[in-house]
Amino acid sequence: MIKFDEVTHFYNSEQGNKVASLSKVNLEIEKGDFIAIIGANGSGKSTLARHINGLLLPSEGDVLVESYNTKDLNMIWSIRTKVGMVFQNPDNQLVATTIEDDVAFGLENIGIEEKEMKKRVDWALKVVGLSELRNSEPHLLSGGQKQRVVIAGALAMHTSYLILDEPTSMLDPKGRKEVLEIIKRLNEEENITVVYITQFMSEAAQFKNIIVLDKGKIVLTGPPKKIFNQPDFLLSLNLEIPQITRLARELSANGLDIPANILNEDEMIKYLCLYI
């Protein structure tokens, strides 16, 4: 479990003022959770994510990863092994000249013996579906494949928590789909806890739960059906609802008897087939 206990994070603005980018955040992430975080630019999403593996430390309050406090310097490497991070631009995270070397990079750093290393790299590449490309050079891959290599690198470390900070914002539609399919599978089949930051509401709609941040505070949590049933509130936070949900609301407002919080195309098609 990951626990945020009254976490506040200050940074110094250019005028020298103390500004809170997170303010008194309380949060519990259970093993196996599948959570999306949404919020306007500057609402504290990335700051929150960087607290989970101790890249940032709380100015006040504590972050616990299982029993370890991220402020405990002796435990920071254990924490970072448990919590894998995937950032926006995969090019910044790929370091080696072949894919398998890249996946092995973290393992080498913590001194895993060769036999075990090979086993883990084989497994991680298989999970993300890149076994056949193991000897390719990372720069020859598509954006979606590169992000899958980064994810494999985290898996090889036997990460239990995967934190992804807008991993699809630079990808084309196919790459976005690849990444989402992989993390869904990791959650279902490998029981990996996923925390996924996104600006795409249609992506957030595919998670079990959503956390909404505004000005460093958690203002709403719940399943997508509940979150996207509050379009006016989301609008006031500079967010919106997915395109399909917008259509559902329009139809419902025009007297059609369909739920106004439909989230995906399959559901929409099912309802529309009752009428046309």
Partner 1 sequence: MFIHLKDVSYTYNLNMPFETVALKSINLKINKGEFIGVIGHTGCGKTTLLQLLNGLLEPTEGKVLVDNIDIHQNKQKLREVRKKIGLAFQYPENQFFEETIAKEIAFGPKNMGIAGEELEQRIKKGIEMVGLDYYAYKDRSPFSLSGGEMRRIAIASILAIDPEILILDEPTASLDPQSCSKLLSVITDLYLKYQRTVIMVSHNMEIIAELAKRIVVMEKGGIVMDDTPKNIFQHSLRKLESIGLSLPPVTHTMYELKKIGKPVSSAILTVEEAKDEILKLIRKRERNEIY
57 in contact with partner 1 (CB under 8 A): no
257 in contact with partner 1 (CB under 8 A): no
Q: Which is nearer to partner 1, 118 or 246 (CB)?
A: 246
Q: Strand, helix or coil at 200?
A: coil
174 in contact with partner 1 (CB under 8 A): yes
170 in contact with partner 1 (CB under 8 A): yes
For the bound state, the minimum distance from the C-beta of residue 198 to partner 1, rounded and expressed in Å, comes to 10
- The single-letter code of the amino acid at 62 is D
155 CB burial (10 A radius; 0-12, 13-18, 19+)? buried
36 in contact with partner 1 (CB under 8 A): no
203 in contact with partner 1 (CB under 8 A): no
C-beta separation of 144 from 109 below 8 A: no
For the bound state, the minimum distance from the C-beta of residue 20 to partner 1, rounded and expressed in Å, comes to 16
C-beta separation of 212 from 237 below 8 A: yes
Report the chain's terminal Cα–Cα distance, integer Å.
48
Q: Which is nearer to partner 1, 75 or 256 (CB)?
A: 256
17 in contact with partner 1 (CB under 8 A): no
Q: Tell me the residue ranges of DSSP E strands in the chain.
A: 2-12, 18-29, 34-39, 60-65, 68-69, 83-86, 161-165, 193-197, 209-214, 217-222
Closest CA to 149 of 224, 90, 89: 90
Over the window 79 to 98, marking each residue x when it contacts partner 1 by CB under 8 A and - when it does not, the resulting string is ---------x----------
For the bound state, the minimum distance from the C-beta of residue 31 to partner 1, rounded and expressed in Å, comes to 30
Give the interface segment with partner 1, choosing from 20-28, 55-63, 96-104, 234-242 (CB under 8 A). 234-242
268 in contact with partner 1 (CB under 8 A): yes
C-beta separation of 197 from 164 below 8 A: yes
Give the interface segment with partner 1, choosing from 115-123, 129-137, 215-223, 244-252 (CB under 8 A). 244-252
Secondary structure (H, E, C), 73-125: HHHHHHHHHHEEEECCCHHHCCCCCCHHHHHHHHHHHCCCCHHHHHHHHHHHH
143 in contact with partner 1 (CB under 8 A): yes
Which residues would be at the binding site for partner 1 (CB under 8 A)?
A: 13-14, 39-43, 88, 142-144, 166, 169-177, 199, 201-202, 235, 238-240, 242-244, 246-247, 250-251, 254, 256, 265, 268-269, 272-273, 275-276
